[in-house]
Structure 1
C-alpha cells in the first residue's frame, strides 16, 4: 500500500515539476523592444529589473550591415521599432528622418528610406510598409513603401503631425494618428505595383497632441495624447478614458494585454524621453540609463 502511494506521489511530483518548468519557460520568453538615440535593444521582460537588464539583441543604427552610409545621419534618434514577419525582421524608424527594415538574425539592412521626422512605422500585407511622418519639410503625411523597393514612395496622404500607424488584420483597415485626428484607411489596388489607400472614416480626438496608437484587441484602440491616455471603441466609435493610466501625461508608448490585464508603457520624464519602462501587473520598472528611451514595444 505504501509503495502504491509513493508511486502516485512520484507521478504527481513529476507532473508538478513539468508544469512549473513549462510555465517558467513561457514566462521567460516574453520580449520587449526599447529604443533611443542610435540604439535598439530587445530585452527579456521577465528577467529585467530596475537594477539589471537581460539583453537578447542589440543594434546600433550606425552599424547596420548593408545600409548605405548616407542613411546613418537619418537614423540617429530612433523613435519606433516593431518586430514583424514572425519575429524574423525588425522595423525601425527615426525622427532624424529614416526608416529601415533589418533581419533579426544577421542585423542586415533589407530596406531603407528617407522619411522626414518619422514617428511610427507598420508592416502591412504584401511586404509593404507604412510610415507616419510628423512636422517637418516634406513631413506631415502618411507614406506607403514596398519592402523590396528602397526609398521609393508608392503612396502618400497628408497627415498633420503623424505619430501613429497600426494595421488591424481582423478589420482589414489601417489606422493612423495625427495631432488631433484618428483615421481608418482601406487598402486599394494592393496587389498591383501602384497600391493606394482609401480614407474610410476619421474622428476628432478628445484632446490634441496624439502620440501613440496601439490595438489592444480587435475591438479597441489605445491612444495617448499630450495629457491623457484614451481608449477608442471600434464598435461604437466612441472615446473614453483608459483608466489604468487615464490621467498620465506625456505617455509615449502603451501596450495592454486585456486578458492578462498587463500594461507596459513609457512616458516623457526628461523632456520627451525617459530611462525607464513601466509595467503594471506585474508592477515593476526596468531601468535603461544608457539611452534616451522614447517607446517600448512588446513582441507577441
Structure 2
C-alpha cells in the first residue's frame, strides 16, 4: 500500500493570523490623554485633548467666587493641579493667589502678593508662593493655608518657580539666575532653612517642575531648558527642549510632553505637544499648561 504524503502550506495560516493581529490592534484604543489645565488672561480652563478638537470641560475666573477681588486675578500665570485635579493652585501677576476647590469653584485659601508667579503645596497644611520683580515682590512666603497665617518669608530676585520634593523634605525655589534648596521640617510647627544655592547655567529662570521617575528637576530659562539631577546636583541640557527659547511651562505625562512657548511678548495662542501639532486655545493669552494626574 502506498501512503501519500500531504504537503501542507503554512503560508495561508500565517497570513490569516497576521490579518487577525492587525485587526485586533486597530480595535485596541490608544491610551487616553489625561485632562490638562491651562491659564492665561483672567481665566483658568480644564481641557480635554484626547479628541480631534480641544474641549473645555471646566472654566474658572475670579468672579465665580464673590470673596475674591477680581482685580487681583487679571493675568493668570500659574495653574498647578493637586490631588489629581480636585484642587488647583493658581496665581496671577496682578497679585492674586488661591487654592481652589474645582467642584465648587471657590477658594479654600487666598492671599495677595505682587507679581506672584507660582505656588506649591507643602505637606498638607502649608503653601509656598513666590513672586517676581515688582514693589512688594521678589520674595517667597510660606502660609498655613488652613489657618490663613503667614509663617515665613525670604527674598529672592525675580522668583518664578517652586517644586516640592517630599522624599527629600526639600523645597526648590527658582530665581533669575539661581536655584535654591530649602530643607523643611515638620514637628509641632514648620521650620525652614536654606541649605544650598546653585547658579543656573543660563539666566532667566522661569518654570520649575519635579520629575519623580527620574529624580530630577526640569528648569526653563530665557534661552534654554535644563535638567538638574538631584543625586549628582549637576545641570545638563534637556534632551528634548534644550535650545527652545521663551518656554513658559513644561509638563510631562509618561512620554507626552506638553509645553507653552511664548509667541508674543510673554504669552502664546497655542499649547504644544512635543512631536505633535500645536493646539490652539481660544480667548486666552496662554501662559501655562499642565497635565492633570497623580504622580505622588
TM-score under structure 2 length normalisation: 0.86
**CA apart distance, 1:82:** 1.2
Tell me, in whole angstroms, the C-alpha distance in 2 between the residues paired with 1:175 and 1:45. 30
Matches for 1:13-162 after TM superposition, within 5 Å:
20=28, 23=29, 27-28=32-33, 30-47=34-51, 52-65=53-66, 67-68=67-68, 71-150=69-148, 152-162=149-159
**1:297 maps onto 2:290 in alignment:** yes
Q: Verify the 8 A CA contact 2:141 2:153 in the aligned structure 1.
A: yes
Tell me, in whole angstroms, the C-alpha distance in 2 between the residues paired with 1:192 and 1:294. 38
Tell me, in whole angstroms, the C-alpha distance in 1 between the residues paired with 2:82 and 2:257. 21
The 3-state SS of whatever aligns with 1:170 is helix
Matched with 1:183 is: 180
**CA apart distance, 1:191:** 4.0
The 3-state SS of whatever aligns with 2:168 is coil
**CA apart distance, 1:53:** 1.6
**1:271 maps onto 2:231 in alignment:** no
Tell me, in whole angstroms, the C-alpha distance in 2 between the residues paired with 1:45 and 1:183. 35
- Please list every run of 5 or more consecutive structure 1 residues that lacks an aligned counterpart in the other structure: 1-8
1:18-75 CA distances to partner (integer Å, 9 max, x unpaired)? Answer: x83xx55x515x011100111000111222x5xx32112111123225x24xx22111
Matched with 2:12 is: none
Tell me, in whole angstroms, the C-alpha distance in 2 between the residues paired with 1:191 and 1:40. 35
Tell me, in whole angstroms, the C-alpha distance in 2 between the residues paired with 1:27 and 1:86. 16
Matched with 2:165 is: 168
- Please list every run of 5 or more consecutive structure 2 residues that lacks an aligned counterpart in the other structure: 1-16
Identify, as 1 or 2, the structure richer in helix. 1
Q: Verify the 8 A CA contact 1:154 1:196 in the aligned structure 2.
A: no
Tell me, in whole angstroms, the C-alpha distance in 2 between the residues paired with 1:38 and 1:192. 38
Matched with 2:204 is: 209
Tell me, in whole angstroms, the C-alpha distance in 2 between the residues paired with 1:165 and 1:176. 5
Matched with 2:226 is: 230
The 3-state SS of whatever aligns with 1:263 is strand
Q: Which has the larger radius of gyration?
A: 2
Hey, which bits of structure 1, 4+ residues long, moved more than 3 A? none
Tell me, in whole angstroms, the C-alpha distance in 2 between the residues paired with 1:298 and 1:112. 23
Q: Verify the 8 A CA contact 1:35 1:295 in the aligned structure 2.
A: yes
